[in-house]
């Protein structure tokens, strides 16, 4: 997952692409236990930040940190990201 995330960052994908369709924040869900619920954008953003932090990614960008990549013996990917960025 970290390699995929780093590749996507290198190709220009940013945190802005980590979202859900706008209608999920406006239209109530249908069926199941979530029937009638509407997703709260602020809660979604907070959960996304928490996920990034738990994954060892930069919260602002969603890119794996150098420390995370190096802990997985993927320091060479961090070097490529720095050269591309």
Q: Quick one: fold of 2-84?
A: 1.10.599
Q: What is the pLDDT of residue 1?
A: 95
Rounded to the nearest 5 degrees, what angle is found at the Cα of 13, between the Cα atoms of 11 and 18?
155
DSSP for 25-64, written as a single string: GTSPP-SGGGTT----HHHHHHHHHHHHHHHTB-TTT-PB
65 contacts 58 by C-beta, under 8 angstroms: yes
Q: What's the predicted TM-score (pTM) here?
A: 0.85
Q: What is the pLDDT of residue 55?
A: 97
The tens digit of pLDDT for each residue in 41-72 reads: 999 999 999 999 999 999 999 999 999 999 99
């Amino acid at each position: 997952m970290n390699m995929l995330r780093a590749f996507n960052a290198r190709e220009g994908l940013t945190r802005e692409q980590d979202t859900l369709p706008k209608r999920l924040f406006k239209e109530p869900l249908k069926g199941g236990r979530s029937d009638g619920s509407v997703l709260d954008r602020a809660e979604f953003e907070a959960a996304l930040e928490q996920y990034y932090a738990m994954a060892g990614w930069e919260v602002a960008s969603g890119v794996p940190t150098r420390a995370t990549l190096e802990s997985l013996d993927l320091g060479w990917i961090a070097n490529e990201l720095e050269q591309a960025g």
